[in-house]
Structure 1
Amino acid sequence: MDTRMPPSIPHVAILMGTYNGEAYLSEQLDSIEGQQHAHWTLHVSDDSPLPGTRRLLEAYQRRWGEQRLKIYSGKQQGFAANFMSLVRNSAIQGDYYAFADQDDRWHPEKLTRAVERLAAYPPSQPQLYTARAQLVDEQGTPTGYSTLQARPPGFNNALVQNIASGNTMVFNQAARECLQRSPHGEDTGLHDWWCYLLISGCGGRVVYDSTPV
Structure 2
Amino acid sequence: MVTISVALCTFNGARFVEQQLRSILDQSLMPREVIVADDGSTDATLELVRAVHEQYGDGVELRVLPSERNLGVTANFERAVRACTGEFVALSDQDDVWHRDRLATAAAALDADPALLLHHGNARLVDAEGHPLGVSLLDALSVSAGEREQIASGHAFDALVRRNLVTGATVMFRRELLEHALPFPSEWVHDEWLAIVAAAVGGVRLDDAEIIDYRQHGGNQIGAQKPTLRYRIGRMLEPRGDRYTRLAARAGALAGRIDALPTSNHNRQLAHDRARFDELRATLPASRPARLRTVVHEWRAGSYAALSSQGNLDVVRDLLQPA
Query: How would you bin the TM-score normalised by the shorter chain?
Result: 0.7 to 0.9
Separation in structure 2 between the aligned mates of residue 57 and residue 212 of structure 1, nearest angstrom = 25
Partners of 1:76 and 1:189 in 2: CA distance: 17
Q: SS at 2:104's partner residue? A: helix
2:161 aligns with 159
Q: Determine the C-alpha separation between the residues in 1 that align with 2:128 and 2:207.
A: 25
Measured after TM superposition, the shift of residue 145 of structure 1 is 0.6
Greater alpha carbon shift after TM alignment, 147-156 vs 20-29: 147-156
Structure 1 match to 2:77:
83
Partner Cα distance (1:189, 1:66) in 2? 35
CA distance in 1, matches of 2:103, 2:59: 21
Specify which of 167, 170, 173 is matched with residue 171 of structure 1.
Answer: 173
Structure 1 segments unaligned to the other structure (5+ residues): 1-8
2:53 and 2:26 map into 1 onto residues whose CA distance is 16
Distance 1:140 1:199, change over 3 A: same
Q: Which residue identity lines up with residue 184 of structure 1 in the other structure?
A: F
Greater share of helix? 2
CA contact (8 A) 1:132 1:168 kept: yes
CA contact (8 A) 2:75 2:184 kept: no
Q: CA deviation at 1:55?
A: 1.1
The alignment status of 1:206 with 2:204, answered yes or no, reads yes
Say yes or no: does 1:14 pair with 2:6. yes
Question: What's the CA shift for 1:99?
Answer: 0.3
> SS at 1:59's partner residue?
helix
Name the CA shift for 1:80/1:57 in 2 (closer, same or farther; >3 Å): same
Letter in 1 for 2:103: L
**More displaced stretch, 162-171 vs 66-75:** 66-75
Kept in 2, the 8 Å contact 1:188–1:194? The answer is no
* Post-superposition offset of 1:77: 1.4
Residues 135-193 of structure 1 deviation map (CA, whole Å, 9 limit, x = unaligned): 0001100002112543232111111111110000000122132223xx334x0241111
Aligned equivalent of 2:35: 43
Q: How many equivalent residue pairs?
A: 197
User: Is 1:133 equivalent to 2:123 in the alignment?
Assistant: yes
Structure 2, unaligned runs of 5 or more:
212-323
Other-structure match for 1:147? 138
Could you say which residue in structure 1 is the equivalent of 2:187?
188
Q: Distance in 1 between matches of 2:209 and 2:159?
A: 20
State the one-letter code of the partner of 1:132. Answer: N
Deviation at 1:66, TM superposition (A): 9.0
- Match of 1:116, SS state, is helix
Residue 41 (structure 1) shift: 1.2
Query: 1:33 maps to which residue?
Result: 25
SS state at 1:134 partner: strand
Please give the alpha-carbon distance, in whole angstroms, between the structure 2 residues aligned to 1:56 and 1:189: 30
State the secondary structure of the residue aligned to 2:181: helix
State the identity as a percent: 28
Q: Max radius of gyration: which structure?
A: 2
* 1:20–1:53 contact (8 Å) kept in structure 2: yes
Separation in structure 2 between the aligned mates of residue 166 and residue 137 of structure 1, nearest angstrom:
19
Question: Higher relative CO (CA 8 A, sep ≥ 6), structure 1 or 2?
Answer: 1
Q: Output the CA distance in 2 between the equivalents of 1:118 and 1:126.
A: 6
For 1:16 and 1:24, the matched residues in 2 are separated by 13
Name 1:72's counterpart in structure 2. 65
